[in-house]
Every structure is written in C-alpha cells, then in structure tokens.
Amino acid sequence: MNDETKVGIFVLIGMALFGTAIFLLGDYSFQTYYPVYAQFKDVAGLPDKSVVKLSGVEVGKIKGIFLKGGKVLVEINVLEGVEIYRNSKFLIGSTSLIGSKFLQIDQGDASSGVIAPGDQVSGSETLPIDRAMARAVEDIQGLVKELRGDGSMTRDLNDILSNLREVTANINEIISTSQPHAEKAMERLDSITAKLDAMLAKTGELVDKINRGDGTVGALVSDKQMKDNVTSALTNLKDASVSVKDMLGRISGFRTYWGWRWKYDPLANTSKNDLGVRIYPREGRYYYLGGANLINTRDRSSAPDYEVKNTVDAQLGWEINGFDIYAGAVRGSGGFGVRYSPFHYNSALDKIRFLFEASEFTRRRYIQSRLFNAPRFDAGVNYLLNSYFSVGLRLSDIAEAPRVNYTAHVMFEDKDISYLLGLMSFGAKGSSK
C-alpha cells in the first residue's frame, strides 16, 4: 500500500469521525417528531434542548423558546406515536431543588381528545421553587417584624395565657377545698361495702352448713323447728345486707363532672363559653346539661358572627370502646355527635380526641342577612394536657360558613354532688315502693 492510499484512508476515517461528532452534537436523530406549542407566562429558566417527560417518561425535546405578545412560547418536539390528551397539564419540572429543569406533562383523560400536530396549549402557571422559597422567607421576616413591632401580638398571647392560668388556678382551688369532704364520705362507703361483702360470704357458708347438718352448728340445731328459725333469720339478714349493699352501690355509683369550654373566633375576634355538667348514673352512660355560646349579646365583632347566642345543650351519651356518642339538643337544636379516642387502649398515649357533630338538619333561615339552608356540621381535635385541661381546634359550620375556632376545655369531678345524687336516687327508689 503506497503513501497516497494510506493518506486517503486516514482522511476518510477522519471525515467519518467528524461527521459522527457533528451528528451527535447537533442533536440529529433518525426518529420523527411532531410539533406542539405551549404558552407560559414564565418558564422559570427552562433551557433550550431540555427533555420533555410525559407522566415521567421522556417523549421528546424542546426545540426552541420564544417571546410572543408578552408571553413565552415553547416549541416542543414530541415523538411520533405518542398521544397527549387535550386536558393534560404542562408544567415546569425540576430534577431536584437545584437540579436541571425540564418540561413535565401530566397526562389527561382520553375522553378530552388528542392534541394534533401544530396545536397550541396553555401551560400551568406554577411558582418556581426558588421564588417560593424567597416568598416563604419574606413571610417569615414579616412575622418576625410583626412580633418585634409594637408588641401587640405578644401582649395578646400573654393575656390569653394569663387568663388560662388564672382559671386553672381557681378550678384547682375549688377542687382542693371540696375534695376532702367527698373523699371521706366515699372512703366510709367503701369500708361499709367491704364489711358487707365479708358478712354475706360468712352468712352464706353458715346457712349451707345448717342445711347440710355439718359440724357443731348442725349438731346443735338438731330440732327441725329451730333449724328453720335460724335459717330464716340468717336468710333475712342476708337479704337485708344485699339491700344495704345495693343502696350503697347506688350512692357511690354516680359520677359528676363540671365542664367549661372557651372558644375563640379569630376572624370575628370574639370568644364564647360553654358551661355544663355531665352526670354518669353508671359506667358508660351519661347525661349532659348546660349552656352553649354564652356571651354578652351587646358585644360587637369585627366580622359577621353567625353563631346562635345563649342556647341550651341537653344530651344523652354513651361511651363504648373509645367512642363517645351523644344525641339531643345541640346549641338549642336537635343533633348528635361522636368523639373518638384513637389510643384509648393505652392510658399513656390517650391524649387525642377527634370530634364530629351534626345539628340543625332543617335549617332554612337568614342569619346576619345571609341565607342558611344546609345542616350544620362541625369537626375538631383536642389534645389533653392533663386530666383537667385540654386545648384544640374546631372547624364550625363546614357546609355553610366555615370558621376555625381555638378552644380550651377545663373539666373536673365534683364528688359531693355525686354523693347527693346517689342519696336522692336511693330516696326516690324507696318512696316508690
């Protein structure tokens, strides 16, 4: 092979390599595409030649980005055979927080039809991540500035906490002064009940021995008449002891709790109070009676307040396996509610209560010049800070005029009233015989 042939082969190889490099760098392809145009207000730094992904799968590339009539027009090359539906969403995506950007297409429904070659669509206006972070930083700075400003927000929060501490202290004082008397009475009842249990057990054993004629007692009571008399006396004593024990059970079976709930509506800048008593005649069942939305009707609010003021709650409730179900008068109207404790099986975790309440099913009236014609639905969540005090959030009147309320709830047991109700129950039973 002569030198000219070698040079010719070398030149051919070099030209082939040069052509391949131009083909690759020029982004040429043997695949066929069809154009689609997407119009955006802002493409957030989307570069030319970036990929296009349909539902996460690469289906094309961006051919060019142009300004047209104050908008940004993106020319997209989509692989032939790939169908994009008309109600699809065109977004600016990013591989990570600081990663490269691409055009993201969320596929729509086939029922809307297919985008034809050359069609123009509108891109979704999404806030870029960097601008979203900048806006979040501005909001945080504004909040800090407000807190550092005239101090009004901080003073308001301090006032609320001071009021709550004062209320809690007063309730603790009430509990501490009334508790000793009730505890002494209940201790005496427990002692009497334990002695009755022991006497009933011994009386039963003695009657059985007499009936069988066992031991010394059976031998002494050999006369049938005497045996019948002794047995009758012991049986009467046993029946009397059972009656006394039943009476003591009625006295000690009642449980009574006072409850106060404070609700604050930040939109109307008003607060309301619920005050009532919950009475348990036996385990798992209770009656509740109290006032709802107690407020001075002359107070003014900064926004329309659609709550019915100064109404009555009167409900019958059942507690079953973490559920508290109640029904009756809810803020003066018929309704029902459900509270649920998801961790009721663990006393250490049992801190959260979820609430759903429905009432005013036939509501058809104007309130504050606004027509209400849908039932009222409330939902909320409470967190127990201790056995007396809880805080929470409540979304009221979800179907008509939803408002977020902040709540604080205080509840304590009144054993003196429980004891009095037990005596009244026993007296009513005795007088009815």
Q: Average pLDDT of each block of 10 consecutive residues along the chain (433 residues)?
A: 69 74 58 89 82 89 87 90 90 72 88 90 73 67 60 55 56 52 55 60 61 54 56 59 55 78 88 91 88 81 82 93 93 93 86 94 86 93 91 92 92 74 54 48
Residues 303 and 318 in one domain: yes
* Stated length of the chain: 433
Residues 411 and 265 in one domain: yes
Residues 226 and 361 in one domain: no
Q: Which residues lie below 8 Å from residue 37, measured CB to CB, with a gap of 6+?
A: 73, 74, 75, 76, 118, 119, 120, 121
Residues 282 and 230 in one domain: no
Can you give the pLDDT at residue 379? 95
Q: Does 70 reside within a domain?
A: yes
Can you give the pLDDT at residue 23? 55
pTM score > 0.75 for this model? no
Coil, strand or helix at 367: strand
Can you give the pLDDT at residue 329? 93
Q: Identify the residue whose tokens are 């003014």.
A: 300
Q: Does 304 reside within a domain?
A: yes
Q: What does the H/E/C string look like for 141-204?
A: HHHHHHHHCCCHHHHHHHHHHHHHHHHHHHHHHHHHHHHHHHHHHHHHHHHHHHHHHHHHHHHH
Q: Does 313 reside within a domain?
A: yes
CB-based contact 164:129 (threshold 8 Å):
no
Q: Does 12 reside within a domain?
A: no
Q: Does 149 reside within a domain?
A: no
Can you give the pLDDT at residue 215? 52
Domain enclosing residue 236, as ranges: 156-253
Can you give the pLDDT at residue 56? 84
Q: Which of 253, 280, 311 is the last residue of a domain?
A: 253
Of 254, 239, 256, 245, the residue nearest 190 (C-alpha): 245
